[in-house]
Structure formats: C-alpha cells, structure tokens
Amino acid sequence: MTIKKRATWHKRHDLPWLLVFVLPAFLIVVAVQFYPLAYSALLSVQEWSLTESQAPQGFVGWDNFARELGDSTFQRSVRNSIVITGGAVILEMFLGVCLAYLTMGSSWRMRAVRTLLILPMVIAPVAAGTLWRILLNSRAGLVNHLLGFIGIKGPEWLASPDWAVVAVILLDTWQWTPFVLLVAGAAIASIPEDLLEVAAIDGASRWQVFLYVELPLLMPLLLLTLVFRTLESLLSLDSIYSLTFGGPGFSTYTMTFYIYTQGLRNFNFGAAAASSWMFMVFASICIWLVFWFQRRER
C-alpha cells in the first residue's frame, strides 16, 4: 500500500470510531434537552394544573397562550423584563467599555486591577443576590449609610416597587459589567497599533481616533456582546430569586421569574409552558442574531 492509499483507507475506517466518540454526548443532549423541549411544546397546548390532577387534563389548543397574554402579571413581567434588561445592559455596555479603556496595558498594576474587577462575575448569582439584600437594607444597610455621608437620604430599596427595580438593575450591572470589560478589553487590544499611529500623525485628536477609527472596528463585537448580555440578563432567575423574590408584590417579576413561579410554585404546567414558548420565540431571534454576528466575525 502506498502512503497516500493508506491515509485514505484510514479515513474511511475512522468514521465508525468517530461516530462512537460522538454518540454518548449526542444521546445525553437528546435525552436532556430535546426530549424535554418537545414535551414542553406538547404541554403548552394542554390544560394541566398539578394541584388538580396528576395527569394532563386534555387538549385546549391556543387557550393557554390567549389566557397568558391577557394575564396582568404576565404583561407586567414582560414590561419589567424590558426595563430591567434594557437598563442593566445599557449601563453594563457603557461602564464596561469605559473601564476596558481605563485598564488597558500589561503593567502589574493594571493586571491586578483587572483581576479584582472581574470578581463579581465568578460569584454565584444566588449569593450575589443575598449579598445585595444585606447591602440594600433600607435602614441598616451599608448603601444607605454611605449615601448618608454625602447627604442623600437613601430610598426604601427593596420595599418600594420602583426602587426594587432599580436594585435589580444595579445588581445585574455590578455582576456583569466585568463581562463587557473583558470582551471589550480583548477587542481593543487586538486593534493594530499602527492604525492608531497613522490616525494620530494625520492630526486626529484622541476622541476622533476613537470615534472614527476604533469604534467602527469594535462595533461588530460590541453588538455581539450586547445581544449576549441581553439574553443572559433576560434569562437570569437566581439573583432576583434571592434579592427580591419578585417583590414587593409583583413589581420585580421578570419573564423568567414569572414562568418559574407559574410552573414550580403554582404548578400550572400548561400555562407555564405556553408563556415559556412565547418567550422562546423572542429568545430565538436573539440567538439567531448572535449566530449571525459570530459568522460574520470569522
């Protein structure tokens, strides 16, 4: 056998082995992801409240969807999700990019600052929620105490419907600005140095260089990060669970939290499945955007 023949012979005989390699992962993903997904699609068109019956109570078509859309808590959750995710992601993008510029460089001091700044990201979201619950206690909390130093009387963070929303935004921003910092930092570092030098020689000010040279180069990645963060923020449950538990009242119910309570607190399986599929449609559009951005990047 010549060398070349042997190589092609191998390639053909490799295939069964390669399939065996892929098989375990494939089976687990189908069993743990695709089967439940199909199951939940099936549940969304059925009536099933576990408190009333141990088995599905019959096919109801689009009823669950219509009922959920008309539900005032559902509507409120959608609004809350938009406000919280919108607010948090805008803050994160702005602060993250600023901090990325301010922490550029490879001196030990900058490296230390960066290491420190990413710490919030590695904390379990559920623990971050309890942490901020301690900090935001309206009378005995540290935040209002510090605000008192500069003469501001802090609000009733977690007891007021509006400030509770702000609190959730602050927590998300505190925890996830580091993510934007990391991604933006990596992107800035990859801009060719000479490009900036040429612009500077041409007499452009630092601000102009940023606006006309760097920003267009960073834009695709920043947009990708934006969609990334939007999705993650929409899907987060843990931090709201431990910071406000949706309260006071329903004022910090987000889509994810609403579906969670519908399904695993009230055991309205049909309703929860229907709302989660409506949510899924929106998430799928975002996921498609991420995919599209990634392909363009390559």
Partner 1 sequence: MRNKTSAKIFLLKLLHGLILSVACLVVLIPLIYLIINSVKLPREFLTVPPTILPSEVTFQHYQELIDDAKTIRYFRNSLTVSFWTTAITIVSGTLAAYGLARMKLAARLLAGITFIFLFIRFYPRVTTVIPFFLVMRQLDLLDTVWAIIIGHLGITIPFVTWLMLVVFQDLPQEIEEAAIVDGSSVWQRFWRVVLPIVMPSVSAAAILTAFLSWNEFLIASSVARRKASVLSIAVASFVSDKGIQWGPMAAMSVVMILPMIIFALFAQKYLIRGITFGAVKG
Of residues 62 through 121, those in contact with partner 1 by CB under 8 A are: 99, 102-103, 113, 115-121
Q: How far, in whole angstroms, is CA 95 from its chain's centroid?
A: 17
Asked whether the CA dihedral 168, 171, 175, 176 is positive or negative, the reply is positive
Interface residues for partner 1 in 224-283 (CB under 8 A)?
224-225, 228, 231-232, 234-235, 237-238, 241-242, 245, 255-256, 259-260, 263-264, 269, 272-273, 276-277, 279-280, 283
**Closest residue by Cα to residue 129 from 158, 155, 156:** 158
At its nearest, how many Å lie between partner 1 and the CB of residue 238? Answer: 4
Q: Which of 135/198 has CB closer to partner 1?
A: 135
The CA-atom distances, in angstroms, between 121 and each of 82, 117, 176, 252 are 22, 9, 6, 22
Q: Please choose, out of 64-72, 83-91, 124-132, 195-203, the segment that lies near partner 1 by the rule CB under 8 A.
A: 124-132
Residue numbers 43-62 binding partner 1 by CB under 8 A = 43
Q: Tell me phi and psi for residue 57, to 5 degrees.
A: -100, 25
Residue 62 contacts by C-beta under 8 Å, 6 or more apart in sequence?
Answer: 45
Minimum CB separation of residue 193 from partner 1 in Å reads 19
Is 43 or 199 the residue whose CB approaches partner 1 more closely? 43
Q: How far is the CB of 89 from partner 1 (least distance, A)?
A: 14
Which CB, 65 or 179, lies closer to partner 1?
179
Query: Interface residues for partner 1 in 176-205 (CB under 8 A)?
Result: 179, 182-183, 186-187
Token readout for 221 is 């990645």
In order, the DSSP letters of 61-91 are TTHHHHHHHH-HHHHHHHHHHHHHHHHHHHH
In the bound state with partner 1, the residue whose beta carbon lies nearer, of 198 and 209, is: 209
| Chain centre to alpha carbon of residue 25 | 25
Residue 16 C-beta: closest distance to partner 1, Å: 9
